[in-house]
Amino acid sequence: LLINAGYSVEKKLVTSRDIYMKDQFPDKVDVAPEYVGGVLDYLSTVNDPDAETITTSDLDETLTAGEQLMKEKGIAFLNPAEATDTNAFFVTQEYAEDNDVSKLSDLRGKKITLAGHADCEARLDCAKGLEKVYGIKLKEVLPLGFASDQTYQSVADGESQLGLTSTTDGTLEEQGFVLLEDDKSVQPVQNLVPVVSQKFLDDHTDVVDALNPLMDKLTTDDLTELNRRVGVEREKVEDVAQDYLTEQSLLG
């Protein structure tokens, strides 16, 4: 979309948020695809890991709470999409049926091994929240990755009972897994959103016209289907994205 609007785009690929947020943004990066809650949780805890999170499950409330942090960092959100993509936890269909489990609160008091990413253990939207809010007794958190083949395999093999993925994982049904409902709303709002350098936005106000139309159309169902095409049908990311932008008449 940026290229279509006449921008020369240099892509920088990073492995985690703290890498580009700490050393590159907003001085060396102009625009980043992000999640509302992820950005604000980072900004509120970067200097104090024990600080109370400002995010909630309400989008407007969270945006208002984060205004000052965004201003201090020198960045701004464009329009958040309706599409949201939060952490989610899955079990095998067999485990769900045998234990009558459909939501995370059904696991209260159970001793569970969780497969997830390396920083899951300390995060409220991951292991910490499962223990504190849901009362799940985590025997172990295996650092096998977020929605990785290793995490899927660990749950399928019974090494772990619970695996970490996202709410838009389009591969679960195919693999015989089911998501458990976050019925106590541990997950903060994670609407997709372009986050931009305030200086860049001031100098290039037309970036709003390039990116907001996508945000105004993108839904969670759209995102899940796009992920399914990549994860199950093995289509190329670039092709899937191009198809969607064309179908939605976003390329002019």
With pLDDT > 90 as the criterion, what percentage of the chain qualifies? 77
Q: Whole-angstrom distance between the N-terminal and C-terminal Cα of the chain?
A: 10
With pLDDT > 70 as the criterion, what percentage of the chain qualifies? 100
Q: What does the block give as tokens for 226? A: 């796009």
pLDDT at position 16 is 78
Rounded-to-integer distance, Cα 229 and Cα 234, Å: 6
Q: What does the block give as tokens for 200? A: 């860049």
Band (231; pLDDT cuts 50, 70, 90): confident
pLDDT at position 235 is 96
Task: Please write the tens of the pLDDT for every residue from 182-214.
Answer: 999 888 899 999 999 999 999 999 999 999 999
pLDDT at position 31 is 97
Lowest mean pLDDT among 57-61, 133-137, 195-199, 212-216: 57-61
Q: What is the pTM of this model?
A: 0.78
Rounded-to-integer distance, Cα 87 and Cα 195, Å: 20
pLDDT at position 18 is 84
Task: Please write the tens of the pLDDT for every residue from 78-125.
Answer: 999 999 998 999 999 999 999 999 999 999 999 999 999 988 987 888
**Cis (ω within 30 of 0) for the bond into 143?**
no
Does pLDDT of 168 surpass 80?
yes
Lowest mean pLDDT among 5-14, 74-83, 117-126, 169-178: 117-126
